[in-house]
Amino acid sequence: MSKGVSYYTKEGLEKLKQELNTLKTKGRKDIARQIAEARDKGDLSENAEYDAAKDAQGHLEAKIAQLENLMSNARLIDESKLDTHSVSILSKVTIKNKKTGATMTYMLVSEEEADLKAGKISTQSPIGKGLLGKKKGDMATIKTPAGTIEFEITAIGV
């Protein structure tokens, strides 16, 4: 089930820790209460509420195991040591679409931290993969679901 090392911002790693803690405490407590309430209703062999609560418990424990695995392979990146000469994880990259002239700025993050609305794209996405290792002024030709797009890297920051 191990996926390998994932790199996170301090904010992203904290969010993972909080979600895991919430599931382990409040989530488990809620499921235990639901199972107890269903058990109190009598015959377990024909108790749909009990079956549903046990299924929910299984899903919760699977999610906890998944998050624990992520946490065991999570590494915090020291943003002060990032090289801004080329695009890497946690780089803020400003790109210009050569066809439309549109300019966008994205931060490259781990898959779990990606949030397009917040301007964070995964290093595993087609655009993220296409930008990694590029330098300011480089052209990146990237195959996306919408077709091939050519971008110019206009700025790299942290």
Residue 53: count other Cβ atoms within 10 Å of its Cβ. 21
Q: pTM of whole model > 0.85?
A: no
Report how far residue 125's alpha carbon sits from residue 116's, in angstroms, rounded to the nearest whole number: 11
| pLDDT for the residue 24 | 94
Report how far residue 136's alpha carbon sits from residue 68's, in angstroms, rounded to the nearest whole number: 37
**In this predicted structure, which of 5-9, 96-100, 113-117, 130-134 has the lowest mean pLDDT?**
5-9
**In this predicted structure, which of 59-63, 84-88, 113-117 has the lowest mean pLDDT?**
84-88
Percentage of the residues of the chain whose pLDDT score is greater than 70: 94
* Domains of the chain from N-terminus onward: 6-76 (1.10.287.180), 79-157 (3.10.50.30)
More confident residue, 79 or 75: 75
Percentage of the residues of the chain whose pLDDT score is greater than 90: 42
